[in-house]
Amino acid sequence: MNAVLKYLAFVGILAAAFYAAATLDLSGGRLPRSAQPGGIIAGKTAASTSPSLSGKPSHLLGGLQGHAVVDFSTTGNLTAVAVGDTIKLWRLPDENPLIEIDAGDNFQLLALKFIPAKGLLAAGGATADGAGGIRLFEITSGKITLQLEEPEPVTSLDLHPGGGFLLATARRYLKVIDIKDGAAVALLPKDSPVSRGWFYGGGSEVLLSASLAVVDVNTQKQLSGLDSVPPLMSRKSGSSGRVSWLTAEGIATQAAPNGTKELFPLQLKGVIAFDIAPGGSWGLFLQDDRKLVARDFAAAKDAGTVLLPTPAVDVSIAPDGNSAAVAMVSGDVAIYDIGSKNRIRNLRFRAAQLLQSTGEKLSGLLAGFRK
């Protein structure tokens, strides 16, 4: 019995240390900037206005080979990664996938979009015959709930702010689809084969990424655009509705639909992908496929630079602003922490694992003594 008591004492001390570390105020007694007024985005707490970017990835989501597509859920702390015909879902910091979904041998996944309110994940892609389609999967089971065929590959998906419609981008058209039954609500023209469509103006309008032109969904009439000059690159960030675009002068960003457009000077050469934090005060820029740069717009300076171990193709900031997913050419997705919140989450997860393991070992010891 003495061995059991000593083991319990050791575990108690260790668990207390874990708990203390997990609840420690890392801001030095002051509220972190993310907890101050103005830091709340879509019910989540955004990360610090001046990002602290981890030098190495905290997690590596692997097991897939090819060009990865990534999306985050605003509920449940879920990360989805699709490569080829396979989708994997993680709830970090657990590096064991929750579920693996097979989209079909003849379906090449090109787009992902969580539908949190309905517990679904939408996937767009191409079929072997050069056509396309959309699949809706249950997050918990991977079961297909809706399958739609399209004459062209679906390269992008966007969720309506109300959660009931999807905007699918194909090469020659945009289609608004009712999630409930898959019915086509509207068919809209595109301004360019490479342009993507995003819901704008509360969902009654669509923004075209190549020209930043705004189209009324009901009348299909083109309204005033966001800029008179086509962007070098554009992005709609997560679920915040923030639209950002690169210009010759720098980065322009606007919170849709009625936010004020802001322009920040930027002289990063070789940018191939970027994303802007929910609050719009900083962004991450993938430069020449091997360098990840965090740019603090208010301070007009770089807040951190990470040299990537392998070439990358895209970067996406999570809706809470506390991490970023970097999609590597290999198909792996590296998660980089921003600020300290994920470190605290990791400690709590490890503490929970320790307590579970302790319970199992204690049960085994007690069973041995009973014998």
Domain boundaries, the chain: 1-26+343-371, 40-56+231-339, 69-225
40-56+231-339 and 69-225 in the same fold = yes
Give the confidence band of 355 by pLDDT, cuts at 50, 70, 90. Answer: low
Whether pTM > 0.85 for this model: the answer is no
Mean pLDDT of the chain: 82
Q: Exposed e or buried b for every residue in 156-190, given b needs 16+ CB within 10 A?
A: bbbbbbeebbbbbbbeeebbbbebeeeeeebebeb
- Please say whether the beta carbons of 42 and 74 come within 8 A: yes
pLDDT digits (tens, 9 = 90+) for 79-106: 999 999 999 999 999 888 999 999 988 8
Q: List Cβ neighbours of 249 (8 Å cut-off, separation of 6 or more).
A: 263, 265, 266
Q: Which CATH architecture has domain 40-56+231-339?
A: 7 Propeller (2.130)
- Please say whether the beta carbons of 54 and 70 come within 8 A: no
What's the fold here for domain 69-225? Methylamine Dehydrogenase; Chain H (2.130.10)
As a whole number, mean pLDDT of residues 322-346 equals 83
Return the pLDDT at 268.
74
pLDDT digits (tens, 9 = 90+) for 11-39: 454 444 444 443 333 333 222 233 222 22
Amino acid at 177: I
pLDDT digits (tens, 9 = 90+) for 258-310: 778 899 988 778 999 999 998 899 999 999 999 999 999 988 888 899 999 99
What share of the chain in percent tops pLDDT 70? 77
Give CA–CA dist 244/242, Å, rounded. 7
Question: Is the confidence at residue 236, as pLDDT, over 70?
Answer: yes
Can you tell me which residue has the tokens 């998660």?
Answer: 335
Q: List Cβ neighbours of 365 (8 Å cut-off, separation of 6 or more).
A: 3, 4, 7
